[in-house]
Structure 1
Amino acid sequence: MTVLDAATLRPLVPAVIGVLVRRGADFAAAEDAVQEALVDAWRTFGEDGSAAPRDLKGWLVTVAWRRFLDVVRSDAARQRREVVVDAEPVRGPAENADDTLRIFFLCAHPALTPTSAVALTLRAVGGLTTRQVADAYLVPEATMAQRISRAKRTIAARSLDRPGDLTTVRRVLYLVFNEGYTGDVDLAAEAIRLTRELAALARDPETDGLLALMLLHHARRPARTRADGSLVPLAEQDRGLWDTALVAEGVAVLQAALAQDRRGEFQLQAAIAALHADARTAEETDWVQVVQWYDELLEVTGSPVVRLNRAVAVGEADGARAGLAALAEVDPALPRHRAASAYLHEKDGDLATAARLYAEAAALATSQPERTHLTKQAARLNSPPRKVVE
């Protein structure tokens, strides 16, 4: 018996859209038709799926294609176009991995803004409803519907036959992952699901590196916040709460990717995350090797954020003074520069400067949990030490 839940239906969405587009439907019309077919599936078979066909994907293709044809025929006079159909597509296996991969590429097309690419990916590849995507990004459903419609119009004329850009797709999925959990959809888990699918299709070490990075970061999620929502720094996290199965999987995926000797930024970031995951305590972290991976990552990306994180790692490996010297080479206008400087000054024993920098960093923080954490750090250093009563 087929259970018609999200786990069953969502993976089918991009492949079904891809089949319709390959048959001649434009992307926007194909996506709309597939959404209607999904609704038909729920209405026809119910959640228990007791009467669902074995080839659910083939059924969705057939129903979605009919929906598409109905729209085309009703709009033929207005749009002055016609779709030539030799015969009604027969129901049956419709598997084509390339279709799914091409839909990934279309939804992350460089012509789209990052926000539009993320929204369209969640809708057309992830199979989420417009309401779910809107809730996840804390915007009205009408606003998200307009954003998705504009995105579909932007890529309507894009050819499905052109080679896709895996780099852009990976960046879009990483943006989804970093949104974490909002609304009734766990975007981090959804990003991992989609990245697993992409990795199976692309067979590319850097995509595997992205999957490994997500798994290793997601493994630490249970220890990352307290019950009141406040942040727990990596060094203070209860490592017993980390998901060891996700860590093991992430390390295995990473090792296989690195073995191909085609390193990219996600593989290098994952290698750093793996070193943190490998240490039983914060004190046992191999900071020298962390710095080495940061050196390689800096070579690949030239990113000022990487340079900032490297300075903190240098402070752990070679002492606070060395870390501050490395930080002096980083643009002080960079977000979190003051927080890193505060940490290194505290490590060096300059508590007054550290307290001032923590307070300045809190004022510049872009999220409430981060602001609260930095404010507490400043207050901690400004509080007079308690006298011990004998």
Structure 2
Amino acid sequence: MTTPILRGTLTPVAADVSAAPLLVLGPSLGTTSALWETAAAELSTRFRVLRFDLPGHGLSAPAAEPFELTDLADAVVALVDSVGGGRFSYAGVSIGGAIGIELALSPAGRRLDALAIICSNSQLGGPDGWLDRAAAVRAQGTASMVTGSSQRWFAPGFLPRRPDRASQALDGLLTIDDESYAKCCEALARYDRTSRVSEIGTRTAVVTGDVDPVVSIAEGDALAAAIPGSRRYVLADTGHQGHLERPEDIAAIVAELVPSLRTPSDIHAGGMAVRRAVLGDAHVDRATAAATPETRDFQDLITRYAWGDIWTRPGLDRRMRSAVTLSSLVTAGHWHETGLHVEAALRNGLSRAEISEILLQTAIYAGVPAANSAFGVAREVFARLDAADETDQAQEEH
């Protein structure tokens, strides 16, 4: 077996290229590095982004000989060395994530600053399935994979919602070299690092889609549990191409793996944007205007730590964060903040019925008196919003 030669695209940051850390992005089988384009644009404000293609995919030449995933990992290191070498972070999808696991378990693992394993696992499917697919592609070409891939790759509704992105992926499948695709399948049939992932010492994130038919939530949980200290993320309404379906979320997760990339001003700006989105401009403007020399540092602390560090994390969506926040506030009896976050929960997409269910749940775990007080606060918020709506409607009619 020989090590393939991989080709890719390096996108430098706008500032000093030599000072920016290198991030390598690995694709999934049957796709090219073009599917990383939106996430790469987000990440290129912080990293030198190096996207590579698998053998016979995109820019990389077809494979002349069989290879293993360890060979692909070695080829990634050779590509990194060709653009300057040194330390790097890595994020990969499906077979790209498996390559990342190989990197972390190889001597190159000492060079890895961070690893994001996306929609991937220490073993992907069974050997027979991969060998059958290799035979099918050799007999009928990659065109025979389009229907199955459209079902595996995307969450239900993604095709009609984003036909541009879906067609980009499926059309690209038709351009893949059949024999190289088959060789990738055969390499995956021999791939199994389940017994070794506990050896990974790199700062790691494990990311799966909630409706991914290839790597289930339970499989992602097991992988994360096996990798010491790993972070776990599940993306809502996401299939097997998380970097294409949720590029902004993936970019945020990857960037978060290297905290030093976020400057204090970045954290404050990001926190202020989320704070305004959740609480509303009017509330934030009032709080900012009311700040005194004695309270200004406290306002800054809230913006940076509550909103910049916690509410910006991609591990929970804002609906879930609102639900957790309401439960916590009711339990602690913080009634002014409860009213504020009832309105914020509505802004984050929770319905009044869902808010009532959350408060009903707190009656069991925080006590009936606390829930009773919370229902009173919510009733006042709903009444105020209804009155404001009626006023707006009356003004429109006149």
TM-score, normalised relative to structure 1? 0.29
Looking at both structures, which has the greater relative contact order when contacts are Cα pairs under 8 Å and sequence separation is at least 6?
2
More helix as a share of residues = 1
Q: Counting strand residues as a fraction of each chain, which structure ranks higher?
A: 2
